[in-house]
A = this chain, B = another copy of it.
Amino acid sequence: MPQTDDLRSSRIRQARRRQLIEATIESIAKRGFAETTLSAVTAEAGLSHGVVNFHFASKEQLFVDTLGWLAEEHYDHWRRALDKAGDDPARRLEALVRADFAPTVCSRKKLAVWFAYWGQAKHRPIYLDIHNRHDAARREHLETLCAALVARSGGVGAQPERAARLLEASIDGLWLQLLLYPEGLDRKEALASAMAQLAALYPHHFEPPTAPLEG
C-alpha cells in the first residue's frame, strides 16, 4: 500500500535526520566546528558516507537544523518547567532559572555546542536568528516575572528590564564558566550561584543558598 509505504518512509527519514543531528552535536562537542566533517558525523552515527546529502541539502543545512533542534529542545524544556511551577511569580522565576541547570540542557557537551554556535554568531546571521527566535519568549517571561516582583523591591530589583538582563547574563556567564573551568565549578554550585543571584536581586523573595544545591 503506497500510503503505508509513505508513512514508513517518512518515519525512517525522520529517524535518520534525528540520528544525524545527534551525531552532529556529538561531533561538534568532541571535535569542534571546524573539525566536524561529514565523514566524522556519519562515522559517529554509524551510517554510510553519502547519506547526509540525502537527508540534508548541504552541510550548512545540517548545522542549521542541528541548532534548530537544540533551540527547540531548550524551549520545550523551560516551557514544561514553567507549566509545572504554578502561579506564584517567585516560584515561576525560580523554575526558569533551575531549568537552565538541569542535566539535560546543561551538560558540558551541550554547553560546548552552544558556545560553538555563539562563536559564529556574528557572521552567520542565520544562527543568530534561530537562537533569538527561540529565546525571545524566554526573555519576555523573565522580564514579566521580574516586573511582578518589583512591588516589594528596592534597588536593582526595581528596574525589571535590567534585573531580567542581569539574570540572563549571569546564567549565560555561569554556563561559560562551566565550560571554561570544569574543575573550578560544577553544575550544582553553578545553580547555587544562580539562586544567589536571584537573592541579590530580590532579597525579599529569595534566600541566598548556603551550600551547593541539588539540580
| Cβ contact of A155, chosen from B112, B115, B200, cutoff 8 A | B200
Nearest-Cβ distance from residue A181 to partner chain B, whole angstroms: 7
Task: Assess the A179–B29 pair: CB atoms within 8 A.
Answer: no
Interface of A, secondary structure class, is helix
A118 to B33, CA, bound (A): 12
Interface string of A180-208 (1 = CB under 8 A from B): 11000100000011001101110100001
A163 to B122, CA, bound (A): 30
- Which B residues are CB-close (under 8 A) to A120? 32-34, 116, 119
Assembly of this chain: how many copies? Answer: 4
Residue on B nearest A180 in the bound complex, by CB: B121
Segment with Cβ contacts to B, from A15-23, A77-85, A164-172 = A164-172
What are some 23 contacts across the A-B interface (CB < 8 A)?
A: A30-B123, A31-B123, A32-B124, A33-B34, A112-B123, A116-B120, A117-B119, A118-B179, A121-B180, A122-B179, A132-B181, A155-B208, A156-B197, A156-B208, A157-B200, A159-B196, A165-B174, A166-B173, A168-B173, A171-B173, A172-B172, A172-B173, A173-B173
List 12 additional A-B contacts (Cβ < 8 Å) besides A32-B119, A115-B118, A168-B177: A33-B120, A119-B119, A132-B181, A155-B208, A156-B208, A165-B177, A165-B193, A166-B170, A166-B193, A169-B172, A171-B173, A176-B176
